[in-house]
Chain A
Amino acid sequence: MTMTEGDLAEIAFVRRATIAPQPPPTKMTGALGWLRDNLLSTPFNIALTILIVLLLAWAVPELVKFLFIDAVWNGSDRDACLESVQHREIGACWPFVWERLPYFIYGSYPISERWRVDAFFLMLAVGITWLLWLNAPRHDLGAIYFFVVLPISSFVLLTGWSTIGLRPVDTVLWGGVLVTIVVAAVGIVVSLPLGIFLALGRRSRMPVVRSLSVIYIEFVRGVPLVTVLFMAGVMLPLFMPEQLSPDKLVRALVGIALFASAYMAEVVRAGLQAIPKGQYEGAMAVGLRYWQMMRLIILPQALKVTIPNIVNTYIGLFKDTTLVFIVGIFDLLRTIEVARIDPKWATPVTSTTGYAVAAIFYLIFCYGMSRYARAMEARLAKADRC
């Protein structure tokens, strides 16, 4: 006896209609599933989660209380921020910051001339935006503006030039954010070209060039910045003829720029090493000279892949500018140090308030730079895949 198609269908116990997909168990999806996976997967994880929640529940309200709820918002001197006078718990002392803000930004720069500092900040912001914004037009002009026009015009603007009616302002009067930005900007503008030359020198085939570059780079990277600043501060005047003795700020600038360029050289060198040999050979095969090859073929590629590392070096440089504090220059941190021990505002919370202001300032700048570096990295990685 043979079975027909229909018979087979009759006795088959295999389901022929597809069942619609079932939703996953509620325990595994949504907020609950996420909690199970990410916070409560094992007993150890549960304990950790509880511990961290407790920690956050203690720390976050304390911080909010200090910065906002218990903070003092109005007042004219230390009495406003003294627990013994106000008879309540005191948080941050904001009127102190408010009153000293011009000092934190300009230092002792003459009040009538402070528009010049504002103009400098504006010009710098334009230059930075032009270079960092990748879709901005004419990056070549931007580079000329940033590396040539900007340094010269800000020098004239900030130090003054009596023939065009700008009153000279001694650098002793500079301070606060102005000095921090000037030191960082000089470091940034000088260290990149100098670093490129040192990196090329280190990869050169001429033994004298190579060994001088290696000695310089390894020496500077082997010593702390503090000692370099001390050297610039006390030894530079010794090495110069007496009448040319540079002022204090210039000495610190020289120290920072020399220090940063050694680190920049290593970053650029890593970029140069990442360029395949064929690029060099190709450039030489079409008859380019050394500098043409570097300018047209090698450096554009090498610098592009090193942008994230260059920005990271700049973050380090920006943080390191605080060290000029130690050789007696009034950067932001030092103006805060001076202001916080001023008897007019000296209270138990003044120091913490001042440091909080500095922390916010540095955090904004450094975090911004690191976000930029990371975005560039992602962009380069995407360009690589295409």
Chain B
Amino acid sequence: MSTDLPTLPRPAPVVFYNDPKVRSIAYQIALFAVVAFLVYGAASNAIENLARARIASGFGFWNNVAGFDISQTLIEYSSRGSTYGRAFWVGLLNTLLVAGIGIVFATILGFVVGISRLSSNWLLAKVAGCYVEIIRNLPLLLQLLFWYNAVLKALPDIRESIAIGGGAFLNNRGLFLPTPIFKNGFGAVEMALLAGIVGAIVFRVWARKQQERTGRQAPVLMVTLALVIGLPIAMFLLAGLPLGFEFPRAGRFNITGGAEVLPEFVALLFGLSIYTAAFIAEVVRAGILAVSRGQTEAAYSLGLRPGLTQRLIVVPQAMRVIIPPLTSQYLNLTKNSSLAVAIGYPDLVQVFTGTVLNQTGQALEVVAITMLVYLVISLVTSFLMNIYNSRMALAER
């Protein structure tokens, strides 16, 4: 039957320019050439323009004396003695400070609002929903300007400072807080705190082992609280209250003593936390809704109470969904902190891309360094995130 199949002629070899491999290589070479040409053109233009404008290049400016003041410095800095490099670190630390505190506030507020949106209380759910809709649909810059210009700058001036209890003052120049003064013997309290934390961790490990072995639960929460809070307090009392406060004193034109929190910082912190919290709330809501109803029902049928069900069944599963988008919200908050430049908080962009750029004129180097910093923060975070994700991924059959 299969004897007289017509013998097909061998297909003609593909012409070389129709060969997919050849084409693909040709396309890539062409694209690479175009990009290389653009980069080369930009670079040669830049060199020519810089030479014409007599702008120095290179990173030599890093060690020159900065000669400008910064209103908030976490490390030692003076306009006369410190270099541009030092100003860079001051700006970077200010960025990290506002981002770090902002992340804590935004997380707390975001979780509260996100859970509220799912509340069985109709009114609470609606109020939380309104919060999310309004805050998410307004530009962050508008919110920052509102907090700074319409709220904080509208506060009374120094002579009519608002006393907010505990020796703190609030006026249009910022928030003035008492600073603690550590007297002799405070070191013992610090040691007690350290010992308490170590003890609590050890107890936790032991409690878990015991539960796995015998099934009995130890009062972990109470013991942890006693060790971490009770022990230092006891030591504090024993050592004879070795702590004093320096209170800010309101003068006629100035407030002396205590610690000053810049209004720019407060406005930025408020704006960033409230804005990001609206996004975190949506992440949290989506995460909780992602845990199927059957999980809760199964937990109830095993006899777990609602609180325990939430803690042991729903939250751990929701966290797996919540954490990746939560990290990207944290990154957004950090990147958005660069809006500080609009209200004059001395963050990295304001100090470095603003003042240093204006003084040195070395746009290329300054903008490149600034971008590199944010890029490193982003890449490190997403690297850690990938590790976390691979550890948390569902072990499927």
Q: Which residues of A come within 8 Å of B, CB atoms? A: 37-39, 41, 45, 48-49, 52-53, 55-56, 205-209, 212, 218-219, 221-227, 230-231, 234-235, 237-242, 315, 319-320, 322-323, 325-326, 333, 337, 340, 348, 351-352, 355, 358-359, 362-363, 366-367, 370
> Does any Cβ of A come within 8 Å of B46's Cβ?
yes
List 6 A-B residue pairs with CB atoms under 8 Å apart, sorted by A's residue number.
Answer: A49-B124, A212-B31, A226-B353, A230-B349, A230-B353, A231-B367
Residues on B with beta carbons closer than 8 Å to the beta carbon of A348? 154
With an 8 Å Cβ cutoff, the count of chain B residues facing the other chain is 55
Given contacts A235-B364, A242-B49, is CB(A222)–CB(B137) below 8 Å? no
Expressed in whole angstroms, the minimum distance between the Cβ of B309 and any Cβ of chain A is 16
With contacts A224-B336, A230-B353, A358-B142 known, is A52 near B124, CB below 8 A? yes
Expressed in whole angstroms, the Cα–Cα distance for A322 and B145 within the complex equals: 11
Q: Does B374 interact with chain A (Cβ within 8 Å)?
A: yes
Q: A48-B121, A367-B133 are in contact. Are A337 and B138 (CB under 8 A)?
A: no
Determine which residue in B46, B127, B136, B142 has the highest number of CB atoms from chain A within 10 A of its CB, and name it: B142
Bound-state CA distance A320–B141 (Å) is: 8
Determine whether B201 belongs to the interface, using a CB cutoff of 8 Å to chain A.
no
Contact string, B14-33, partner A, CB cutoff 8 A, digits 1/0?
00000000001001100110
Cβ of A31 to closest chain B Cβ, rounded Å: 12
Q: Work out how many contacts link A and B, with CB atoms closer than 8 A.
A: 154
Q: Which of B87-122 contact A (CB under 8 A)?
A: 119-122
Residues of B within 8 A of A320 (CB): 139
B residues in contact (CB < 8 Å) with A: 24, 27-28, 31-32, 35, 41-43, 45-46, 48-50, 52, 119-124, 127, 133-134, 136-142, 145-146, 149-150, 153-154, 335-336, 338-339, 341-342, 349, 353, 357, 363-364, 367, 370-371, 374-375, 378-379
Whether the pair B142, A48 counts as a contact (CB closer than 8 A) is no
Q: Beyond A235-B46, A322-B140, A340-B149: 11 further Cβ-contacts under 8 Å?
A: A38-B120, A39-B121, A208-B31, A235-B364, A240-B45, A319-B139, A319-B140, A326-B341, A333-B142, A362-B137, A362-B139
- Contact between A45 and B120, CB atoms less than 8 A apart: yes
Majority secondary structure, A binding face: helix
Write the chain B residue with the least CB distance to A240. B45
What is the distance, in angstroms, from A85's C-beta to the closest C-beta of chain B? 18
In the bound assembly, the distance between CA atoms of A212 and B124 in angstroms comes to 48
Interface pair B371/A231, CB less than 8 Å apart: yes
Nearest A residue (CB) for B334: A224
Instruction: Known A38-B122, A208-B32, A367-B137; judge A235-B363 contact (CB<8 A).
Output: yes
Q: Which listed residue, B138, B145, B349, B363, touches A363 by the CB 8 Å rule?
A: B138
Establish whether residues A227 and B370, one from each chain, have CB atoms under 8 Å apart when the complex forms.
Answer: yes
Complex Cα gap A313–B105 (Å): 26
Question: Which residue on chain A has the smallest CB distance to residue B141?
Answer: A322
Asked if B349 and A227 make an inter-chain contact with CB atoms under 8 angstroms apart, the answer reads: yes
Instruction: Please pick, from B42, B43, B134, B142, the residue contacting A322 in the complex, using a CB distance under 8 A.
Output: B142
Chain B residues near A326 (CB-CB < 8 A): 141, 339, 341-342
Q: How far is the CB of A36 from chain B (nearest CB, A)?
A: 11
Return the contact of A239 from the options B45, B124, B134, B138 (Cβ within 8 A): B45
Contact A238 B31 (CB under 8 A): no
- Residue of A238, A315, A352 ringed by the most chain B CB atoms within 10 A: A238
Is the CB–CB distance between A362 and B335 below 8 Å?
no
Q: Is the CB of A337 within 8 A of B338?
A: no
For A49, the chain B residues whose CB sits under 8 A away are: 121, 123-124
- List residues of chain B with CB within 8 A of the CB of A231: 367, 371
Which of chain A's residues have a CB closer than 8 A to the CB of B153? 351
Bound Cα distance A237, B367 (Å): 14
B379 touches A319 (CB 8 A): no
Q: Which 8 A-B pairs have the closest CB atoms?
A: A222-B378, A38-B122, A366-B137, A239-B42, A208-B28, A224-B335, A234-B363, A319-B139
CB neighbours (8 Å) of B150 from chain A are 351-352, 355
